Structure 1
Amino acid sequence: MPKYAGRNAVVVGGTTGVGLAIAKRLVEGGAQVLVTADGAHGFADAAGRLGSAASLVACDLSAADAANASDAAAALAAEAQRVFGTVDMLFVGAEPPTAQGALDGCASTAKGTYLAAQALAPLLADDGAVVFTTIAADACRPGMPDAGVYAMTASAVHAFARVLAVELADRGVRVNAVAPGAIDMPLARNLRSGTAPLGRRGSVDDVARAALFLAADATFTTGTVLAVDGGLRSDSSPGLRS
């Protein structure tokens, strides 16, 4: 039997990058998946890759107006309830939009992450799981240039994950986060990093594997931030190897 057969999953921000890699592995493993993005960007490509096991929904959780963002989160939860009833796994991607300024980008991403979790938490199965993904293990290194918005966003999301883990623990819902670093993707490349101690840059599929491990296999793990960075955090040098 496929590993995720009979599981329902929501992937917020699942039409590109890490989110798409997570959604693809879920579908391949037999799950039913609801995928969102903040518009129609990437929908056609994602639909072709994911097939009929995935439902795609436009949902802008980063809207500047708080009421609009809250309405979008409520609409997403209503759609998830209509499609699934209950949700076994929730993946929320927290990547600051490049079109906004640093502070606006951090605020809108943190807000959208919070609203998605708040709206969907009541639908989670009692043994369900939430996994947040950021791109900022690089940014959490001291002295990493041009990384302020990523570091602020990651710190906010990681703190929220730890609080939510305690709040949902009595239901058996596990909440964790994945902190990628040295990953070969456009936003991570903006951090001017090279290769990690393992001698290569990671892939979005490396991150997806870790996120799915936390969601499906790490059954006694909650409130944890898992670094997926090829040893980056263990490297005492000021920057990554070029």
Structure 2
Amino acid sequence: MIDLSGRKALVTGAGMGIGQGVAVELARQGAEVAVHYPPFEKSADATVERINGLGGRAATVRGDLRVVSECRRVVDEAAAALDGLDILVNNAGVTRTRDFLEMDEEVYGEQFELNVRGYFFCAQQAVPHMLERGGGSIVNISSIHGRGGLPRHSAYAATKGAVDAFTRELAVELAGQKIRVNAVAPGIIEVPRYFDIPGYTTEFGNTLVPAGRVGTPEDVGRAVTFLASDAADFITGQVLYVDGGTSARMGLWWDQGDRPR
């Protein structure tokens, strides 16, 4: 049983997609949730409405986590709105697909500023708030791209490899202060932007995953909720793959009758 009653959580990039699924699942298990969303999104109302529908408590905070001072402000405002902070879910990120030889400094920098630097300084700002409450849990959203290669994702994959390394190091550094640090690495999680990819359909996505279906934001939310809870009290420094078996499958491929239909 997962019970997060009384816990205070900040989820970055929670206005839609995976972040929304995580925020709602934390609220479902009793946490009070600060829903962060970036300046280029209009609001996080949909997430707040879903949390309110569960009888939960939500606050919103807006900010550009590519900027270090904004990371600090967002965390402090979330802690003030919730009267404390026990859980940080670093989820806000950006994916940009480019051929390696076409990658430019601006697109490269944008991904590292948000996907790595944003995680780092949000975590740094969150730790003192957690220490005031006797400890806490940080969950970083990584990706299967941190483990295996896929063309046109060189910079994005590098950011997620950095997140995995950061997760392990910080877990060791903070273990003595009762702050656990883990990561969740999603595979194909169907979010609205997938349908902007030419030719993508749910049926096609299902054929790519050994489990025979694409994942949902709720799948990631359940994994994050587990890692943030006392049920995972002896788990730190780990990367949990939520990918329906994608990262476990051998890359050498030929059809031997075992491909999902």
TM range, smaller chain = 0.7 to 0.9
After the TM superposition, which of the residue ranges 180-189 and 70-79 deviates more from structure 2? 180-189
Which residue does the alignment assign to 1:44?
A: 45
Q: Following the alignment from structure 2 to structure 1, what is the Cα–Cα distance between the partners of residues 81 and 228?
A: 20
Q: Is the 8 A contact 2:182 2:239 kept in 1?
A: yes
TM-score (ref. length: structure 1): 0.85
1:17 aligns with 2:17: yes
After the TM superposition, which of the residue ranges 40-49 and 98-107 deviates more from structure 2? 98-107
Moved >6 Å (runs of 4+): 239-242
Paired residue type of 2:45: A
Q: Following the alignment from structure 1 to structure 2, what is the Cα–Cα distance between the partners of residues 71 and 225?
A: 28
SS at 2:168's partner residue? helix
Q: Is the 8 A contact 1:137 1:227 kept in 2?
A: yes
Bigger share in strand: 1
Q: Following the alignment from structure 1 to structure 2, what is the Cα–Cα distance between the partners of residues 151 and 53?
A: 35
What value does the CA root-mean-square deviation take over the aligned residues?
A: 2.8
What do the CA deviations read for 1:71-92 (whole angstroms, capped 9, x no partner)?
A: 2122123213322343111111
Cα pair distance change 1:139/1:130, threshold 3 Å: closer
What do the CA deviations read for 1:23-78 (whole angstroms, capped 9, x no partner)?
A: 1112222221111111243422223222261000101112xxxxxx1221221232
Which residue does the alignment assign to 2:215?
A: 202
Which residue among 140, 148, 157 is the counterpart of 2:147? 140
Q: Is the 8 A contact 1:137 1:180 kept in 2?
A: yes
Which residue does the alignment assign to 2:100?
A: none
Q: Following the alignment from structure 2 to structure 1, what is the Cα–Cα distance between the partners of residues 21 and 77?
A: 22
What do the CA deviations read for 1:2-25 (whole angstroms, capped 9, x no partner)?
A: 822111111111111111111111
The alpha-carbon deviation at position 234 of structure 1 amounts to 1.4
1:59 aligns with 2:72: no
What do the CA deviations read for 1:121-168 (whole angstroms, capped 9, x no partner)?
A: 11113331110113x3156324x2222232111111111111111111
SS at 1:20's partner residue? helix
Q: Following the alignment from structure 2 to structure 1, what is the Cα–Cα distance between the partners of residues 112 and 145?
A: 20
**Identity level (%):** 33
1:162 aligns with 2:175: no
Paired residue type of 1:12: T
Q: Is the 8 A contact 1:5 1:30 kept in 2?
A: yes
Q: Following the alignment from structure 2 to structure 1, what is the Cα–Cα distance between the partners of residues 179 and 44?
A: 30
Paired residue type of 2:148: R
Stretches of structure 2 lacking an aligned partner (at least 5 in a row):
98-103, 254-258
Which residue among 73, 76, 79 is the counterpart of 1:75? 73
Aligned length: 234
The alpha-carbon deviation at position 232 of structure 1 amounts to 1.1
Q: Is the 8 A contact 1:139 1:147 kept in 2?
A: no
Paired residue type of 2:238: T
Cα pair distance change 1:4/1:98, threshold 3 Å: same
Which residue does the alignment assign to 1:230?
A: 244
